[in-house]
Structure 1
Amino acid sequence: MQRWPDELMRFVEQQAPLYIHLAAALPGAAPFVCRGYGLSAELRESDRIRVHVLKSQWARVAGLLREDQPLAVLATSGLDNESYQLKGKYAGCRASSEELAPMLDRQRRIASLHFPHLVSLTNVKPSDCLAVGIDIAVAYEQTPGPGAGSLLAERREPS
């Protein structure tokens, strides 16, 4: 049984440039947001995604993490501004060099077709990044329009 709605599955698997932001905040404080350079979704098998961020920015995010504190990810399609916010719990991080290399190449190729002057924004080395795991609990539609901010799906425990 598929755990997440079709539109979210289609979105994370599409061949379009994605602009990704990872955010964390202490209670009552403004969030720190950093850019993601890749998104690995394991949503067909589990609730986990991995956001690939620069190690230098992860150091700042990690300083804001507390036990059971949520992380938020905003992912936006560069073609039509379709976007979703995913919130969940931190699920560890690991080096991302091997899995990120083909993803960065694909993002550069796709971006060069649509936005040739913005390709330099994805010019990072995989060895400079970490893959941050997040077990997603809730997804919100963020696409501008009447549905913006509405709950798309919530993880439900299997019965």
Structure 2
Amino acid sequence: MTPDCIISDATQAFIEREVAIDVASCGSELLPSTARAYGCSVAADRRRITLYLKRSEAGQLLQDVLVHDRIAAVFCLPATESALQIKGRQVSLSLADEHGVQVVARHVARFVAGVIPLGHGRLFAEAYMHITPADTVALSFVPEVVFEQTPGPGAGRALPERGAA
């Protein structure tokens, strides 16, 4: 998929819901680096995705994505294990603005509410998803390819993303 791809309605709806978001890259030695994201937003034109990470947890990942300009993010819905992976480039980093802080607050609240019925206690879920505005960074990238990652025979299949579904 080319860097001008546009995320479909269905993909945008999925990645902006109460999903667990794991972000990955690698360094020069091909050693992986990972971090959790605490929310996601898709640009109005769907040409950029922004992930919100805890700077204090994501040091190696942030270094790797900025140096090597490669990122992969997996979005997994805990209730069903439905998952998508999005790979991209043209990575940029900034402090989270007020919009980003609001995205994180909404995502954290939805995620906590979504895992409680699965048997996770509220205090555990809130501690797991705790992030402060001062420690929040926005990691933005251009999506290049979307993969089905739900366990099963379709896992790893590239999806034909192109705007409205």
TM over 0.5: yes
Taking structure 2 as the reference length, what is the TM-score of the superposition? 0.78
- For structure 2, the residue ranges without an aligned partner over 5 or more in a row are 117-121
**After the TM superposition, which residues 76-115 of structure 1 pair with which residues of structure 2 at under 5 Å, given as runs?**
76-114=76-114, 115=116
Kept in 1: contact 2:52–2:136 (CA 8 A): yes
CA distance in 1 between partners of 2:67 and 2:130 (Å) = 33
Code of the aligned partner of 1:7: A
Q: RCO greater where, 1 or 2, for CA within 8 Å and sep 6 or more? A: 2
Tell me by how many angstroms 1:64 deviates: 2.0
Alignment check: 8 A CA contact 2:36 2:53 kept: yes
Question: Partners of 1:62 and 1:108 in 2: how far apart?
Answer: 21
Counterparts of residues 2-81 of structure 1 (less than 5 Å):
3-14=6-17, 17-26=18-27, 29-42=30-43, 44-65=44-65, 69-81=69-81
Q: Per the alignment, do residues 98 and 92 of structure 1 end up closer, same or farther by CA in structure 2, a change over 3 Å counting?
A: same
How much identity, in percent, do the aligned residues show? 23
| 8 Å Cα contact 2:7/2:46 also seen in 1 | no
* CA deviation after TM superposition for structure 1 residue 145, in Å: 1.6
> Structure 1: where are the runs of 5+ without partners?
none
- DSSP-derived class of the 1:109 partner: helix
Shift of 1:96: 0.9
Following the alignment from structure 1 to structure 2, what is the Cα–Cα distance between the partners of residues 102 and 61? 23
Cα pair distance change 1:119/1:6, threshold 3 Å: same
**Could you say what the CA RMSD is over the residues aligned between the two structures, in angstroms?**
2.5
